[in-house]
Structure 1
Amino acid sequence: MTWPSFGGMVATVLLAACSVTSAPAATSAPSSAPAMASLRSTDAPESGLPELISDHSFERPVQPRMDAAYRTGLVTDHCVDRDLPAPPVAEQALVVLDRTYALTASYVPNDLVTASEAGLSGTSGTKLVRAALLDDLAAMAAAWDAAGFTILIDSGYRSYAAQAATFGSWVARLGYVEALNRSARAGHSEHQLGTTLDLSSPGWGGRFGDWAVEAPEGAWMAAHGSEYGFVMSYPAGSQGDTCFSYEPWHYRWIGREAAAAHRASGLDLRRFLVRYAGR
């Protein structure tokens, strides 16, 4: 498939100051149990990591193009737990976060607003999201209403500190190794971007169940979320590449054009972002 080329800066990964061989690693056992994305976090990345993702205007992303130099610069064993700086990208919505690449503790989006500005009410309306996604969230919420659905936002933006506390609660409950299968360490959570939502619906009580199958609202999101720029980050059967358990409630906004390209690619989100970085 041929992708259109867009001008502008192509991100280049700079890993010289933080080599893979010197990075700390932890082993983790595979798990088939889905993890609550609202319960995700990590040990703090090294405090000296540079802030590689700028806080300039968060523009709506365009369809990304393949960039071999970017792709080959990334580590291949990304399921190893370490704290390398998130690879710099021209568009913040397309940054790669996984068990290796992380945001710094100081990263906070500069345009956080409440979801109420997109027309969400109740507890859902109190959740923080980036202003960049408000138009798409409002349009999606209108589509929910038209379909007769009430979809709730359980979690939006989550700070580095909040994620660290969440991961710590999983460690206390399950032990460190198993917690890695249930939760993202701080800095590695997509929620810190402010563009990721954990969703549910009033009639659905299976907090660790398959929302995309067990609830019509979840099935609607799986079928139509990408039309509004929202992509399921950790789909079923992708744990070998995403390194996280299936989370049918966890949706990340990457913009409508990028989401359409992602859907057409057939790739899980992480692999898509790695292969089609830059503009």
Structure 2
Amino acid sequence: MKRFRMVMAVLLLGAAGLPAPAVAAPADYDIDTASSLQVVVNKQRPLDPATYVPSALVRVTGLKVRAEAADAYKKLSRAAKADGVAITLVSGYRSYAQQESLYNDYVRQYGQQVADTLAARPGFSEHQTGLAVDIGNPSGSCALAECFESTPAGRWAAAHAEEYGFVIRYPKGSGEVTGYSYEPWHLRYVGPALAKEFELSGEATLEEFFGLPAAPDYN
């Protein structure tokens, strides 16, 4: 099991143009164990076991999510509502079998090459960890589409997701690293500490943050 100790991140006081005191990143993160909140899953890092099922799944608006991510999502959606923005949960946990069905459906529709940019193969999906959520607008506008970024829910999530322990896992322009098209609706819960360090690091992806190889394709 690999563990990573992150180096110090530095905040710049933009208004004054002076460096602020460094913010230490003292924690070690387990990015290999399937049950870890910080597990990194991608096309070259499958879940172990491939049929892994989280032990603490709860229901949020009818969808299953791991308990820690569910609590964080509820806080996020309440905060958004207080700001006048409604956010709805579109997708949460998917089992190995559900992911297999979804992936095969994409293959039938678009062919395997395109399908691999849109959905993970079973055993390689963040949704199977129970820590990933897809969000949307109650109206359904720009659901699971790039234009979601310019909707009220998309803009609010981009500005505030980190405050609740989430990161946008598949950012724009990072397909050569993640292997997936831009998904502004796909939030991955990693916990408040890592989310803050990730934000301060300026890195676009978890792969780059942890110094992992890019994973655009399956081995």
TM-score range, shorter chain: 0.7 to 0.9
Q: Aligned partners of 2:114, 2:197: CA distance in 1, in Å?
A: 34
- Please give the residue correspondences for 1:128-277 in structure 2 after superposition, counting only pairs within 5 Å: 128-207=64-143, 208-213=145-150, 215-272=151-208, 274-275=210-211
Identity among equivalent pairs (%) = 35
Note the residue ranges of structure 2 that are not aligned, 5 or more in a row. 1-6, 10-23, 213-219
Equivalent in the alignment of 1:2: 8
Paired residues of 1:114 and 1:129 also in contact (CA < 8 A) = yes
Match of 2:62 among 122, 126, 130: 126
Q: Aligned partners of 2:83, 2:205: CA distance in 1, in Å?
A: 26
| Offset, 1:91 | 7.1
**Per-residue deviation, residues 81-116 of structure 1 (Å, max 9, x unmatched):** xxxxxx63497111121111111333100000112x
Equivalent in the alignment of 1:113: 58
SS in 2 for 1:210: helix
Distance 1:5 1:228, change over 3 A: closer
Match of 1:102 among 41, 46, 54: 46
Q: Which has the higher contact order (CA 8 A, sep 6+)?
A: 1
Paired residues of 1:204 and 1:211 also in contact (CA < 8 A) = no
> Cα RMSD between the aligned structures?
2.3
Select the structure that is richer in strand. Answer: 2
SS in 2 for 1:232: strand
Note the residue ranges of structure 1 that are not aligned, 5 or more in a row. 7-62, 71-86, 116-124
Q: Aligned partners of 2:28, 2:136: CA distance in 1, in Å?
A: 30
Q: Aligned partners of 2:100, 2:209: CA distance in 1, in Å?
A: 25
Q: Aligned partners of 1:204, 1:128: CA distance in 2, in Å?
A: 20
TM-score computed with the length of structure 1 as normaliser: 0.63
Whichever residue aligns with residue 36 of structure 2, its letter is: Q
Whichever residue aligns with residue 147 of structure 2, its letter is: D
Distance 1:271 1:250, change over 3 A: same
Q: Aligned partners of 1:272, 1:137: CA distance in 2, in Å?
A: 25
| Offset, 1:196 | 0.6
**Per-residue deviation, residues 55-82 of structure 1 (Å, max 9, x unmatched):** xxxxxxxx547xxxx9xxxxxxxxxxxx
Paired residues of 1:96 and 1:274 also in contact (CA < 8 A) = no
Q: Aligned partners of 2:110, 2:209: CA distance in 1, in Å?
A: 31
Q: Aligned partners of 1:137, 1:183: CA distance in 2, in Å?
A: 22
**Per-residue deviation, residues 236-277 of structure 1 (Å, max 9, x unmatched):** 11111111110010000011111000001111232255339x
SS in 2 for 1:219: helix
Equivalent pairs, count: 190
**Per-residue deviation, residues 188-226 of structure 1 (Å, max 9, x unmatched):** 11000101100000234223232112x021100000000
